[in-house]
């Protein structure tokens, strides 16, 4: 309940950030427009964020016959914890990674890269899939998607407002003079995306810890997930998966961010050693079972 309250509070802060940004540049009309944008973003994220993420990474649906190794594990765990069977996708990439998406457990999808299937043994793969089902069970996929989309909208609006203020738009000279002119617009351009990104990351990082804990509870084997995280961290750095800042938070380990957005300056995931330490009591799997 406390985690749900914190997430709702952070999402409210993101929405208020967007609304206040609209008020800064456009007064009352700008505030109303920004609120309408926030409502539209939430609607779009609710129904289409999963399809957008899967399409972006060219994820292909696979049948039980095509990928029995994953289906058997996921079917066993979903029956154990009372979740509907999600759709299974494979991403045609040699970089090892995985993510879950969907607005609720009834519309969930789990995507794995070809690289992760080649890298992990059965126990480690089970740990990763349990982590992703943890996201589904905790109902935090949609929350993270909405947070990312709102943060992106704030960044975009800040940029638009800066250029409009620079050339005398959104209220003219009087409004620009009252609100600090070009300097005020520049300040908003810098601070608004940073604030939005920090709020988004607060949501994303806490969710990763929770999904790790849930995944370890589902399998009863935290060492398998810890071992998988250590392998994924090492191999994904050698062969990184290019990802967009808007949905990099979906993956189990942080992919390589593309673009030069403010969001690319911040880590979307907690450090792997800290995640491993929470799972097994030390920051490395090596020697943990001895």
User: What positions carry a catalytic annotation?
Assistant: 132
- Token output for 64: 């039980």
Dihedral sign, CA of 74, 75, 78, 80?
Answer: negative
Q: 2: exposed, middle or buried (C-beta count within 10 Å: 0-12, 13-18, 19+)?
A: exposed
Length of the chain: 290
Backbone angles phi, psi at 89, to 5 degrees: -130, 155
- Token output for 235: 């191999």
How far is C-alpha 57 from the geometric centre of its chain's CA atoms?
Answer: 14
Residue that the structure tokens 């309408």 belong to: 36
What is the Cα–Cα distance from 119 to 114, expressed in whole angstroms? Answer: 9
**Partners of 109 in the beta sheet?**
87, 101
Q: Where do the DSSP E strands lie in 191-268?
A: 242-243, 256-257
């Amino acid at each position: 309940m406390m985690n749900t309250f914190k997430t709702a509070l952070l999402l409210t802060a993101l929405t208020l950030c967007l609304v206040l940004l609209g008020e800064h540049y456009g007064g009352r009309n700008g505030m109303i427009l920004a609120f309408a944008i926030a409502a539209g973003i939430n609607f779009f994220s609710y129904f289409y964020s999963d399809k957008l993420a899967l399409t972006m990474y060219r994820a292909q649906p696979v049948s039980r016959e095509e990928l029995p190794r994953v289906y058997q594990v996921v079917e066993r765990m979903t029956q154990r914890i009372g979740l509907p069977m999600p759709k299974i996708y494979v991403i045609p990439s040699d970089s090892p990674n995985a993510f879950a998406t969907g607005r609720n457990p009834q519309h969930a999808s789990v995507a794995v890269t070809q690289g992760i299937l080649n890298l992990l043994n059965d126990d480690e793969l089970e740990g990763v899939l349990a982590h992703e089902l943890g996201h589904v069970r905790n109902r935090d996929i949609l929350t993270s998607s909405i947070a990312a989309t709102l943060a992106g909208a704030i960044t975009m609006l800040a940029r638009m407002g800066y250029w409009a203020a620079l050339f005398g738009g959104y209220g003219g000279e009087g409004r620009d003079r009252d609100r600090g002119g070009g300097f005020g617009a520049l300040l908003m351009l810098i601070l608004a995306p940073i604030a939005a990104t920090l709020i988004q990351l607060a949501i994303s990082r806490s969710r990763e810890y929770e999904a790790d804990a849930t995944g370890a509870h589902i399998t009863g084997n935290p060492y398998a997930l810890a071992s998988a995280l250590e392998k994924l961290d090492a191999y994904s750095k050698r062969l990184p998966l290019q990802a967009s800042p808007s949905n990099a938070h979906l993956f189990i380990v942080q992919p390589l961010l593309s673009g030069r957005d403010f969001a690319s300056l911040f880590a979307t995931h907690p450090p792997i050693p800290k995640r491993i330490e929470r799972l097994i009591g030390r920051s490395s799997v090596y020697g943990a079972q001895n």
